[in-house]
Amino acid sequence: MTKLNILSVLALLTFFCTNSLIAQTNKKSEADIPKLVVVISIDQMRTDYLSRYWNKFQSGGFKRLVNEGAVCSNAQLDLHVQKISTGTATLFTGVYPAAHGIVNDSWYDRLKKKEINCIADNYFITVGSDSKEGERSAAKLLSPTIGDLIKINTRNRSKVFSVAMNDVSAVLSAGHAANGAYWFDSQNGNMISSSYYVDVFPEWVRQFNEKQFAKMYTQRDWSTLLPIKSYEESMGDDYILEKGYYDKWNTFPYDLKKIKDKAGSYNFLKTTPHGNSMVKDFAINLIIAEKLGSDEYPDLLTATFTSMDYENSSFGPASIEMEDTYLRLDQDIALLLDFLDKSIGKGNSLVVLTSTCSSVYPVDYLKEEFNMPVGTFSPESAIALLKSFLNITYGQGDWIEVIGDQQLYFNRELLEKKNVLLADIQTKTANFINQFEGVKIALPSTSFEQGDYTKGQLAVIANSYNFKRSGDVLYQLEDGWQPVFKFQKTIYNDNSNIPFILHGNTVKRTQIRKKIMGEDMVPTLLEILQMPIPDHCAGTILEEVLQ
């Protein structure tokens, strides 16, 4: 699909629920509109990292954003499945998974009878590499992002870009109509894109890749920025519950060449501070090369950094590795802010600091150190018992077709063949799962199809339920409980708190303590940019932050 066609489709989505940008009344002067909006998103960032490491942060990074910005100290992103994919889509569209359709990293497509990845798309090819890591698109994202809306309202004159180490973050924050989305190719260490966004690979990106930052970083050790004895905010470097890389290396310094050889790719760089430095450097090069913030039309750049990425659980939020990552990230953010001052002009850019998901403390850590009433839930054991129950109830058969994250899909063909009512097996299954220790609640999907649960205790699941993509039974675990699997890495989060700070001349220097939602970012940014807010937005304007 061409960019022109994409924009036409998105324009139809917003035409009937918005007014023309030109027709708006009470407009401020153009000087009050930021020339460039930069969304700094840090995957898996806990809000308490800011206070925990505060005394070690320098003045120009996190401290500057907090001291000079509008700080929302009680921001939340409430989702049934809390992952980078679901969080990114929700944050940047301003609507829930029920509407934007990204209910998980992947879901079961009943018509195609296979699991579908949220961004994989082999219709498009990798640009900038011979690998397949660029075969990605935002085609499965059913709602326009903030970038899409900006381009529609400026008749495609604004420029929208994204950069991240992970493809999911880059694609789902960029949306459909972005001028470019770039991410890290773990096979060769280059920054790449997809033909969905880029037809001809830019010369400046090729020149950036020629510097071979990934190769350079793997020839260095990762040592602590400060003397290791000064990391008093964290657990000991040799903490017994800290698994480390490959359940083997868990103390400083880290021989990155050795880890690279063991990994067989550059993927592990996403778990080190060096990955964040690459994102920072690439973002600065992008702003210069693409001339962002250089005309009267506001541009958007999303830069996504990582908090140890997929090794987060191997070290934990209280590790020295995590602290060192944030101390170094603080320096990267300071350099980025300083660059924006010099290139765009101090105050002419609007910077947003946030996260698409948070992180949780491991169960063993909470039990051993604090005697908390938490535990682990084995989906594999629960499903084994459930299958026996269904066979006793309905007869022998493969009743469950696919088991997803906190949801399961029934074999609809078998149900029809055996004359088993979908609502009946859903209800009995939900009641069965509700008996397990650690399960907060399990619900049949027919509950959401027949009733309104968008308010109250069940709203988190209801807002995340998509009729075509979600499972037949959905469940939540009790607070503090986490799933464990025998042969796969657990990626789980139930912490909905995220950081949310706005910084620039168009926002007040203030602190907001009331609860606000991640979905509020899109309408608030549109208001600052003096653009109409579509009716479909689930969030509201944060009036308290506006000048």
pLDDT greater than 60 at residue 404: yes
Q: What is the pLDDT of residues 83-113, one digit of tens each?
A: 999 999 999 999 999 999 999 999 999 999 9
- pLDDT confidence band for 163 (50 / 70 / 90): very high
Question: CA-to-CA distance for 5 and 231, rounded, in angstroms?
Answer: 53
Q: Is residue 24 scored above 80 in pLDDT?
A: no
Structure confidence at residue 23 (pLDDT): 37
Q: What average pLDDT does the structure give for the chain?
A: 92
Tell me, what's the pLDDT at 233?
Answer: 96
pLDDT exceeds 90 at position 355? yes
DSSP-based helix, strand, coil % in the chain, nearest 5: 40, 15, 45
Nearest-angstrom CA–CA distance, 465 and 102: 10
pLDDT digits (tens, 9 = 90+) for 445-462: 988 876 656 565 678 898
CATH class label, 3-360+498-545: alpha beta
Cα 388 to Cα 281: distance, rounded to the nearest angstrom: 55
Residues 98, 461: Cα–Cα separation, whole Å: 9
Give pTM, 2 decimals.
0.92
> How high is the pLDDT of residue 25?
35
The boundaries of every CATH 3.40.720.10 domain in the chain are 3-360+498-545
Span 526-531, average pLDDT: 97
At residue 15, the pLDDT reads 44
| Span 51-69, average pLDDT | 97
Q: Is the pLDDT of residue 488 over 90?
A: no
Q: Looking at the predicted structure, is the pLDDT value of residue 18 above 70?
A: no
Instruction: Report helix, strand or coil for 395.
Output: coil
Q: What is the mean pLDDT of residues 285-301?
A: 97
DSSP 267: G
pLDDT at 457: 61
Task: Name every residue whose Cβ is closer than 8 Å to that of residue 273 and which is 6 or more positions away in sequence.
Answer: 222, 324, 325, 328, 329
User: What is the C-alpha to C-alpha distance for residues 106 and 113, in angstroms, rounded to an integer?
Assistant: 13
Instruction: Compute the distance between CA of residue 329 and CA of residue 62 in angstroms, rounded to an integer.
Output: 9
CATH 3.30.1360.150 domain extents, the chain: 376-483
**pLDDT: which is higher, 494 or 55:** 55
How many whole angstroms separate alpha carbon 304 and alpha carbon 253? 26
* Closest alpha carbon to 104 in 121, 79, 123, 128: 79
pLDDT of residue 494: 84
CATH for the stretch 376-483: 3.30.1360.150
DSSP 507: B
235-244, 448-457, 501-510 — which is least confidently predicted?
448-457
Q: What is the mean pLDDT of residues 433-452?
A: 88
